[in-house]
Structure 1
């Protein structure tokens, strides 16, 4: 793993294991905000900065995807943030070309905020050793990061129906939610709908829980001019108690 890069509001570093036989590299960006500071989810809400990881041009390594552990919702008056207020590790799916030695040259850019938001940028260069070497600390970090990711849909936790209103002002959702034990809150789940890049919708209208079923409308704010939703895929993250599920919504 790399050395830590430090900032007024926290620190971050790159963690990675050697590529497997197919060239896949398990890696992660580890971020530790200081107490009282936050860093952001992929769609940060009002004014935040989403994490960005860029691999140097001409590198033998490519970035396929960034995964995001379950965030929290923060409200400060009219300002809404979707973020993390504790250490968080973002799993990275990387791919190495060829069979020779591998060096990752990555630029990470995040926002880290308290009263104001401070851009935090760091370059990480990391040489990866042979895959046969054991790296228990890195493996522990990566396993813990994977465990904090939202679940895929399942029979007891899923979006079973969705429909956009003709005026594109509301998105109707029908969900199956996990069964609640005795003493657990039966309030509404936290729902974050992600539309076009840079857009997140969270305001619920008239949610009703009936056993495991939950029906709700989500208010859709302003969309880009001339935006055509036909054929698009949106995301939805549902947080219900200790469980979270993430899936896509197809608008065909």
Structure 2
């Protein structure tokens, strides 16, 4: 926690205006950042994207960064004509730092943003902040401030965003996941221990499992995982950050299997 507070004290302020690259502030580790305005889709929703290019050797983090990483946070306060925003995370890489696993992106990432407009016939005015971590030998949290107009009249897809959408993890159905079961027991010293069995074909090579809950106040340790035939097993510990007890809703658990060939996004498990 002391290390994290040190990192947070080193916030980098960057400015994005529409589609152009950032300007101003300390740009250490960042080569280019832009908000791609995207296009209005047939159902009236809008697809835009945050495009980040890092300097060689630098990386940034996925929505669940692991034991050594800074989770990205989005704040859309100040935006107009927005009902909801959902990031569509491309398949991340797994890397190890100081003996700990982290999950993220090397060199470049395009994060599609699916926006639901309150009035589908009007432009969307986006104004907000994105907090990300960028790391090389040290980690520097960066605060990206941006303002952009997403026009309702543009309907032609952006090839860069479309390519990022094809790189998202498979659904459980597409990956032929047959069953997911979980067993929960009390952990020594408090918290819970979760044992998960995922019946699915191999995702290729070494397979890493990331487990998320719907409660941001619950810490989830890096799972121990192994494959046995047609099943992937993962075990992890969970603790509330305040040290208290908490309820675990199995239907709200999220499992991401990252393999050498592809990743799989799985929601929920049965007892």
CA contact (8 A) 1:96 1:102 kept: yes
Distance 1:12 1:159 in 2: 40
1:193 CA drift (Å): 1.2
Q: Structure 2 vs 1, CA of residues 133 and 166 (structure 1 numbering), >3 Å: closer, same or farther?
A: closer
Q: Structure 2 vs 1, CA of residues 105 and 23 (structure 1 numbering), >3 Å: closer, same or farther?
A: farther
CA contact (8 A) 1:63 1:94 kept: yes
In structure 1, list runs of 5 or more residues that go unmatched.
none
Correspondence 1:148-167 to 2 at 5 A: 148-154=167-173, 156-158=175-177, 160-167=179-186
3-state SS of 1:177 partner: coil
What residue is the counterpart of 1:169 in the other structure?
A: 193
CA contact (8 A) 2:251 2:270 kept: yes
CA contact (8 A) 1:25 1:94 kept: yes
Q: Structure 2 vs 1, CA of residues 86 and 179 (structure 1 numbering), >3 Å: closer, same or farther?
A: closer
What residue is the counterpart of 1:28 in the other structure?
A: 49
Distance 1:230 1:179 in 2: 26
What residue is the counterpart of 1:144 in the other structure?
A: 163
Q: Structure 2 vs 1, CA of residues 192 and 116 (structure 1 numbering), >3 Å: closer, same or farther?
A: same
What residue is the counterpart of 2:207 in the other structure?
A: 189
Correspondence 1:1-252 to 2 at 5 A: 2-5=19-22, 7-10=27-30, 11-20=32-41, 22-57=43-78, 59-98=80-119, 99-132=121-154, 134=156, 139-154=158-173, 156-158=175-177, 160-167=179-186, 168-178=192-202, 185=205, 188-195=206-213, 196-197=215-216, 199-205=219-225, 207-210=226-229, 213-224=230-241, 225-230=244-249, 233-250=252-269
CA contact (8 A) 1:236 1:247 kept: yes
Provide the TM-score with structure 2 as the length reference: 0.77
3-state SS of 1:3 partner: coil
Q: Structure 2 vs 1, CA of residues 241 and 231 (structure 1 numbering), >3 Å: closer, same or farther?
A: closer
3-state SS of 2:253 partner: strand
Q: Structure 2 vs 1, CA of residues 104 and 189 (structure 1 numbering), >3 Å: closer, same or farther?
A: same
RMSD: 2.6
Distance 1:140 1:191 in 2: 30
CA contact (8 A) 2:255 2:266 kept: yes
CA contact (8 A) 1:171 1:219 kept: yes
Aligned length: 240
Moved more, 234-243 or 152-161: 152-161
